[in-house]
Amino acid sequence: MNLKILNKFELDQRIKSLVSKERELLHEILLTIKEIDQRKLYLEYGFANLFLYLVEGIGYSAGSAQRRIDAARLLGEVPSLGEKIQSGEVKLHQVSLIQKAARDVYKTTHKKVTAEEKQELLEQITSKNFQESQKEVASFFDLPVIETTTQVTQADESVRLSLTISKELADKIQQAQALLSHAISSNDIVDYLEYVTDRVIKQKTSVKVKADTNSRDSVNEQENAAIMEVKSFTARTKKILLNKDQCCQYKDPATGRQCLSRWFLQTDHKQSRWAEGKSVPENAQLLCAQHNRLKYRKESGLKYLSQ
């Protein structure tokens, strides 16, 4: 369409009609995200969580993905949000204010904000601008000031961190630094972090090389191997895997997309134990906890079918 031929009234009408369609589409997108979330389908598509799916699989920026997740989940609790999104009375960043405040309330008081409270707050911020909404949300929950942590990657790829820690944690770090003063020459917290981090990585991933085995040892090894076949994987196998694979090996069979998450990794039997899979290194793989659970759920379905 040649927009140049439209006069100013026609252009005004056109953008209003397009924006209205855009809001309807947004509502449809939120309902679709809600369905994918409730059925945890992102796991099957090869992503460890909904956020990663929307960013890496769909192409949203981190902020856009989080706002859509917040809105899709609120839509599940407060269905009237749908009309407000379609009419434009409530914007996504206002929804995120409510959801973030609810998370903060839970963090500080362990009290869950109810759907009724969220609905009430939603009415209060309807048709308000962002600053007015911020004030409404803060006074509604009477939230204490929470110092947020910021993390900024700089030009040389170093990371600038700014965080607030409790007095108790600061005291504990000081005590640990004193105990490690023989090993760390400075009292710089960065040196301390590096030392502790190196120790954790070494402890979790280093594999001891076995000494030459004499005949008695090899009998023991055979026995151990037999035991290993029925028991779970040894710590050594886990460490070898953490060195080799380093991340979740789950792949969506349809697209080949691999999860690659490095969080909450678990050692899994490729061929499950109930299907006579052995606890030998060749049958081991790393899966994140979410995908390990997905595999288990799918296989337990299969297991019952085969019985």
Binding site for Zn ion (CB under 5 A): 48, 248, 250, 259, 261, 288, 291
Nearer to Zn ion, 261 or 285 (CB): 261
Closest approach of Zn ion to the CB of residue 45, in Å: 11
Q: Would you say 237 and 267 are in contact if contact means Cβ atoms under 8 Å apart?
A: yes
Closest approach of Zn ion to the CB of residue 54, in Å: 16
Nearer to Zn ion, 69 or 259 (CB): 259
Nearer to Zn ion, 96 or 261 (CB): 261
Locate 212 and state its tokens.
């030459």
Beta-bridge mates of residue 266: 287
Closest approach of Zn ion to the CB of residue 294, in Å: 8
First to last CA, the chain: 62
Closest approach of Zn ion to the CB of residue 59, in Å: 20
Nearer to Zn ion, 187 or 255 (CB): 255
Annotate 2-16 with b (16+ C-beta within 10 A) or e (fewer): eeeeeeeeeeeeeee
Distance CA 210, CA 224 (A): 14
Closest approach of Zn ion to the CB of residue 48, in Å: 4
Q: Would you say 274 and 303 are in contact if contact means Cβ atoms under 8 Å apart?
A: yes
Q: List phi, psi (to 5°) of 9.
A: -70, -40
Locate 53 and state its tokens.
């799916």
Nearer to Zn ion, 191 or 245 (CB): 245
